[in-house]
A and B are shown apart, each in its own frame.
Chain A
C-alpha cells in the first residue's frame, strides 16, 4: 500500500487499512503502552458511571491507527512529517475501524504528498479525521 512517487495524482484514494475489531486486550495493551489508564477505556462499570453505554476506546488509539496508516503509505523510505486530527465520534469496544485517505496535494520540490485521512466505524461514520503530510523516499 506504499505510495509510489510518479504514480500519484490529486484525488487518488490509496488502499484502505482495515483494523481488526478493538477488543479489551488491545485497550489494555494501549493503556499500558501509552500511559493513559483512564478506566472508562478498561472497565465497564466505570464507563457506565460516566454515562457511557459501554467501554470506549482511547481517542488516541484511533489516531494511532491513522498514524500507522500514514506510515504505511510513506513506506520504509518515507516519513510522516505531519498528522493532525479532530476526534468527532466515540469509538466503542468491538468497533472495526477502517482508515481511508485521499490525496489533496502533491509537491514536486519536496517530494511530499498531503492527504485527507479519516478513520471510520463499520457504519461508515467518520470517528477521527484530519490531514497527513508524507515525504516520500527515493
Chain B
C-alpha cells in the first residue's frame, strides 16, 4: 500500500537521485510591510532598523533592514522531492550574508539539494536532506546563502 508521496521503501530507493536537484529561480521582492510584520511577529517591533525607515536611512541603509531570519519567507519546496509535510522535520538552519537585506531589494533565489545522507538507528531509518538557497541581486551578486537541513522520517 502506497501513501501519497511514496512509502519509505520508495524514498530510500530514490533519494540518491535527488542530489544536485536545483529549483527554478524565484523572484522575491522585499517589502517594508513584510519586514515590519515579521519583526513584530518575533517580538522585535521596537528595533528601529526593522520598523523606522528614516532611522534606518540615517544609519546609512537604503530602507528598512530585514531581521537575520527574514529569508525564511523566501520559501521554495525541495526540488524534485515529493514527500508529505508530516514526514519532514526542520533539523538545522543557517543564514550567511554578504550584506544585509533591505526593503526594496529584488532577489533571485534558487534552492539546491547538495547532499542526502541516511541515518540509521532508533526505531526508524531517516534521511537528512542538506539543501542550500542562494539569493542573488538582479546583477547576479550573491546576497545571502541559507542552509536548510531537513530530516525525512
Contact = CB atoms under 8 A, between A and B. Distances in A.
B134 to A, nearest CB: 15
Given A26-B43, A84-B93, A76 B59 contact: yes
B72 A60 contact: yes
B42 A85 contact: no
Contacts of B39: 68
Best-surrounded residue of A20, A64, A80 (most CB of chain B within 10 A): A64
A105 B67 CA distance: 23
Interface in A15-32: 19-20, 26, 29-30, 32
A76 B43 contact: no
A62 B44 CA distance: 13
9 contacts: A33-B41, A38-B85, A60-B90, A64-B67, A65-B42, A68-B43, A68-B47, A85-B92, A87-B92
Given A64-B72, A68-B44, A68-B67, 8 more contacts: A32-B41, A34-B72, A64-B38, A64-B42, A71-B68, A76-B55, A79-B100, A80-B68
Interface of A: 19-20, 26, 29-30, 32-36, 38, 50, 59-61, 63-65, 67-68, 70-72, 76-77, 79-87, 130
